[in-house]
Structure 1
Amino acid sequence: MAINRWDPFRDVLSLQNRMNSLFQDYTRGQGESDTLATAAFVPPVDVYEDEHKVVLKLEVPGMKQEDFDIRVENNTLTVRGERKFEKEEKEENFHRIERRYGTFYRAFTVPNTISTENVDASYDAGVLKIELQKRAEAKPKQIKVSVGSAKPIEAPKAETKPAA
């Protein structure tokens, strides 16, 4: 008799995947005019910042450089793309298709501290990396404290009243 490890979250994750699939199928059929409704998948993104830039990393494996459309307009960064299904294999030969294909759209509000002229994008190992440089005035400045050149502060002298 084999011992199976019980995972209490396995059923919850299975239910979540089924619900996500149900909602995506429902929104896909609602009309072709709305970009968000026709998105076949939404790639996950990590956003972090340091003192010089804000970086976004989108997980979009299996795509080519020309499949991306990245724009910055009116303090909004938009990333659009399309992951195409390989037509060389017949669909009836597949036992299972779990990867999502089609178009995606992500929009991010860019803070005023970002210079929209200095945006770099690179794609490596299935990760699209977008770097937004901060403006010079938004970068932290270190203020040097000088030691020993300041005059000591004198304490106010207490007034003495003559004894009456």
Structure 2
Amino acid sequence: MTVHDWMWSEACEVIARAERMHREFFRPAGAMASQPAWQPPVDILETDHEVLVLVALPGVDAEQAEAVIADDGHLVIGGTRVLPPALRTATIHRLELPQGRFLRRLPLPPGRYSDVRRATIDGCLVITLQKAG
């Protein structure tokens, strides 16, 4: 990858992130409150035996996050990120990490998968999809 390609890729990612933030900020409240409000950033890596999906979800327990492979071959990750109970009465000076329902729908590399495992490592939800056959 050339420096030009890398810079272009980074610029496209910044634009996509800005568009996601814009959608999150202007989402109507009320009836939409139960709908997913934000999308966590992800990395998808593939080895010979598995696909690893790293989802930036600090403070979210792996057991509280949903991860399923849909019939259309997409991985659907969902859950809720909330402040810990001990911090809910604290004075907030800055709150940049998104809170509330999240949902991310990701196309997977072609193939079949036999197992979906979840773990939390260094503030990331790590989803491991074991390749079948």
TM-score if structure 1 supplies the norm length? Answer: 0.58
Higher normalized helix content (fraction of residues): 2
Specify the alignment match of 2:112 in structure 1: 114
Counterpart-to-counterpart distance in 2, 1:60 and 1:28: 23
Among 48, 52, 60, the alignment partner of 1:63 is: 60
Q: Which runs of 5+ in 1 are unaligned?
A: 1-12, 137-164
Specify the alignment match of 1:81 in structure 2: 79
Shift of 1:55: 1.1
SS at structure 1 position matched to 2:26 = helix
Shift of 1:96: 2.1
What number of residue pairs does the alignment pair up?
116
Higher normalized strand content (fraction of residues): 2
Query: Cα–Cα, structure 1 residues 22 and 59, in superposed 2: closer, same or farther, change >3 Å?
Result: closer
Shift of 1:112: 4.1
Specify the alignment match of 2:44 in structure 1: 47
Q: Which runs of 5+ in 2 are unaligned?
A: 1-13
Query: RMSD of aligned C-alpha atoms?
Result: 2.9
Shift of 1:121: 1.8
Higher relative contact order (CA 8 A, sep 6+): 2
Shift of 1:82: 0.6
Name which one, 1 or 2, has greater alpha-carbon Rg. Answer: 1
TM-score if structure 2 supplies the norm length? Answer: 0.69
Percent of pairs identical after alignment? 24
Counterpart-to-counterpart distance in 2, 1:133 and 1:86: 32
Shift of 1:99: 1.9
SS at structure 1 position matched to 2:60 = coil
